[in-house]
Amino acid sequence: MSVLVLSCGRTGTNMLLEILRGSSELVATPVAEDKQLFRQCNKLSDDYLSKCDTVYIDNLMQVSALMDKNPQLKILWTIRDLRDAALSKIYRGQPGNDYHSLCDDATLTGCLEDISWMTAVYNFLEKRYPERMLLVRMEDVINNFDDIIKKICDYSNITFEEPMRKFTSRYRLTSQSNRYKNLDKKQIATHLRRNEIYNGFFKTHDIIREKMRHNPYKIVKMFEETVADYTGAPYAVSVDSCTNALFLCCRYLGVKHAIVPRYTYLSVPMTIMNAGADISFEEVDWQGIYQLKPHPIYDAAKRFTSDMYIPGNHMCLSFHIKKHLKISKGGMILTDDKDAVDWFRKARYEGRSEKRYKEDDIEMLGWNMYMTPQQAAHGLALMQNYPEHAPDLIEEGGYRDLKEFTIFKDTPVIDEYSTF
């Protein structure tokens, strides 16, 4: 029996390895040092060890290759409160520094991306090897050591031994909650928002396990139906970002020129231009949503609340990490146009229909802009506790004047002032 201890850094992988080293039946060997992407608790061939590197997809394929070549190989996947993992990562090796100064948003975002990244890895592996993976919450190991470790031993087909209790103090997992006190309210809120995503990991796991066993893309339809019902739209078509949602709307309507606010996110005029249209800027105050005038297209990246759909329009949502539904990436087009729905669904997926690829006939140009089942499952998990009404988001510090960019210096500005 071989066992992989797998997860991202600062989630208790070393501690679990140290516990398992107490077993006379296992030999713990690290497979990849960088970020502790995955660890292995039994000897594997030098050929495998020499090929491991720190690139995400290579490691994912490496683990998959290990699982396929070794039918007895199982995975122990460690998870930990995201706040503790993030703080541990920030504080690691810097005990003399002021923690408050180390807790910047960029570092926290990086920690979150690690968790989201590895969640996708977990979902892939759990679906492919459902009987060969065990999720281990490291807080449970601390609070209920005997029961959890014996469960791990049973799963790994090894005997529980007393030396397993004697892992070194250097690997003891501790809560960083006392350090939360050093954060101001805004930073605490940031931690909690990110912890919502981490907690959604467990719900995502359950949804995938129950609903995606035979056809993982059914979960995407479920998420689309949930969003459509919540927003009051007849249809919702998922894509991989709000930016690409706007792009597809422009392409579908054959937009040649559009007017957008002078103060908005850079990707909006960029995607309109990439869709083959010219742009003008408008001096306009907006909140939550705005129209790509004069077309029935709305950028609704800053709004996600019940019954928000405006009939007769294509409204583009964002599920970016800084938006309402923090999937980390993804978007949606709300519409009541069935013909548009059919076109969007093909266009987002390289022109393909819902037929099997070998049976399909591609009749139109398409792009690689579809939402993955993992993203959809994450969205469904977050929707379970999403409020009935949510306020529009306000861009902290405001948007930069797009005319400051060289690429837009010659873009005309319409003086007419209006509000939405």
**What pLDDT, on a 0 to 100 scale, did the predictor assign at position 214?**
46
Q: Could you give the C-alpha distances from 160 to 25, 136, 284, 384, in angstroms and in order? A: 10, 16, 68, 39
- Residues 343-387 have pLDDT tens digits of 999 999 988 887 777 777 888 889 999 998 778 877 887 887 788
Answer whether 283's CB lies under 8 Å from 414's CB.
yes
Residues of the chain with pLDDT under 70: 1, 27-62, 82-84, 86-120, 167-216, 416-420
Q: What is the pTM of this model?
A: 0.56
**What pLDDT, on a 0 to 100 scale, did the predictor assign at position 130?**
87
Q: Could you give the C-alpha distances from 147 to 75, 131, 134, in angstroms and in order? A: 19, 20, 14
User: What single string gives the DSSP state of each residue in 260-278?
Assistant: EESSS-THHHHHHHHTT-E
Give just the sign of the alpha carbon dihedral 339, 342, 347, 353: negative
Backbone angles phi, psi at 323, to 5 degrees: -105, -170
- Cα separation, 334 vs 237, in Å, equals 7
Candidates 205, 229, 235, 199; CA nearest to 219 is 205
Answer whether 210's CB lies under 8 Å from 304's CB.
no
Question: In this structure, what token pair is assigned to residue 160?
Answer: 């529980």
Q: Tell me the CATH number for domain 3-211.
A: 3.40.50.300
Answer whether 333's CB lies under 8 Å from 249's CB.
yes
**Fold identical between 3-211 and 218-419?**
no
The number of beta carbons lying within 10 Å of the beta carbon of residue 338 is 10
- Residues 49-75 have pLDDT tens digits of 333 322 233 355 667 777 888 888 888
- Cα separation, 405 vs 176, in Å, equals 43
- Domain positions in the chain are 3-211, 218-419
User: What single string gives the DSSP state of each residue in 289-322?
Assistant: BEE-BTSSEEE-TT---TT---TTSEEEEE-BTT
CATH 3.40.47.10 fits 218-419, yes or no: no
Candidates 209, 246, 213, 203; CA nearest to 333 is 246
